[in-house]
Amino acid sequence: MNPPITLCALPQTPDAFRMQATRTLKQGSAPMFAGFLKDQRHVNGVDIACRVGGSGPGLLLLHGHPQTHVIWHKIAEQLAEHFTVVAADLRGYGDSSRPDADELHLSYSKREMARDNVDLMKALGFEQFSILAHDRGARVAHRLALDHPAAVQRMMLLDIAPTLAMYTQTNEAFARAYWHWFFLIRSAPLPETLIEANPEGYLRSVMGSRSAGLKPFTDEAFSEYRRCLQQPGSARGICEDYRASAGIDLEHDRADIAAHHHLGLPLRVLWGAEGTVGRCFDPLKEWQQVATNVTGQALPAGHYIAEEVPGLLLAEALAFLR
């Protein structure tokens, strides 16, 4: 394996960042998260699993559905040259706890999931940190920055528009592409039963139906996604995450809007030019409705930006988060 190129001396132009960052990505079949430690912390009443590596300011990485912290494996080591990287599994996912369901889905509200990760970073010694988050993790990050503004320094969110905007503007094109949003919120136990009957089939259907198919996912990464989804309680955790987003999370979002409570931190939003979010919504415009200091653009990718175009994402992250 070729040694990674040190990024400390990267030129400051975006094109130079992109060229250099792309060259630092691992080649071949090197192990994922080399130099990282596996950890688990009991916070906010649950066990949150994570990998920790690097040194410097804290950077929290949060994944989306139906995946785990492994989505960051193509860029984590390069980010760790500049940050103490904490790649966490959300509650209900990966190797983190899978709390029981409750009638109002409070256990999987983004407010509780945000508190998990604030407490995790405090347990690791970080009162303040930045965030890079995708999909469901980006929704958790949005809530985290609203509820704990003093904790978050800068934030980059991948391929989402605000949850309330996406639900209120749902049309046929979005519903067809994001069918799982409406399948997973059906009452238990129907979606759980169907997912548990064929976890790998569910993964292949959800992940493989996006613009890039299954090509972005290495065998090792996909095996981890499959292993975690096969664990007892995983289907429940996923469904409860989405049920919370269609209920209690919207109540919290509406309350913030009514109180004129907006994000004030530096926020960068990126979305896939080939993805559903960019086709069905105007992501930057929607974030400008709820944030006062936001920039963003599309990248030449679909939904799974960190695994489709890791070099471009690494360049963006280093330029914005450092």
**What is the Cα–Cα distance from 74 to 268, expressed in whole angstroms?**
20
> Does residue 78 surpass a pLDDT of 50?
yes
Domain at 109, CATH number: 3.40.50.1820
Torsion of CA 93, 98, 99, 100, to 10 degrees: 110
Return the pLDDT at 18: 45
pLDDT value of position 3: 35
- The verdict on residue 7 lying in a domain is no
If pLDDT is split at 50, 70 and 90, which confidence band does 25 have? low
Band (111; pLDDT cuts 50, 70, 90): very high
Which residue type sits at 98? R
For residue 53, what pLDDT band results from cuts at 50, 70 and 90?
Answer: very high
Residue 23 banded pLDDT, cuts 50, 70, 90: very low
- At 154, which amino acid appears? R
Residue of 116, 119, 135, 159 marked catalytic: 135
Reported as a single tens digit per residue, the pLDDT across 143-161 is 999 999 999 999 999 999 9
Q: Is residue 85 one of the residues assigned to a domain? A: yes
Query: What domain range includes position 205?
Result: 14-321
- Non-local (6+) Cβ contacts of 31 within 8 A are none
Instruction: Express each pLDDT in 256-294 by its tens digit.
Output: 999 999 999 999 999 999 999 999 999 999 999 999 999
Q: Per-residue pLDDT averaged across 183-196, rounded?
A: 98
- Number of separate domains in the chain: 1
pLDDT in tens, 205-247: 999 999 999 999 999 999 999 999 999 999 999 999 999 999 9
Share of the chain above pLDDT 90, in %: 90
Residue 7 confidence (pLDDT): 29
Give mean pLDDT, residues 193-203.
98
Catalytic-residue membership of 180 = no
Dihedral of CA atoms 206, 212, 215, 219 in degrees, nearest 10, equals: -30
By DSSP bridging, strand 58-62 and strand 46-54 are: unpaired
What is residue 30's predicted lDDT score, i.e. its pLDDT?
75
pTM of the model: 0.92
Is residue 293, in this structure, part of any structural domain at all?
yes
Do residues 151 and 129 make contact, with C-beta atoms less than 8 angstroms apart?
Answer: yes
Residue at 163 is within a domain: yes
315: in domain: yes
Residue 225 φ/ψ, nearest 5 degrees: -60, -40
Q: Three-class SS of residue 275?
A: coil
- Any catalytic annotation for residue 82? no
Is residue 2 one of the residues assigned to a domain?
no
* b/e 276-296 (16+ beta carbons within 10 angstroms → b): bbbebbebbebbbebbeebeb
Is residue 106 assigned to a domain? yes
Other Cβ atoms less than 10 A from the Cβ of 51: the count is 23
Stretch 307-321: mean pLDDT, rounded?
98
Query: How far is Cα 114 from Cα 108, in angstroms, rounded to an integer?
Result: 10
Phi then psi for residue 43, to 5 deg, are: -135, 145
6 assigned to some structural domain? no
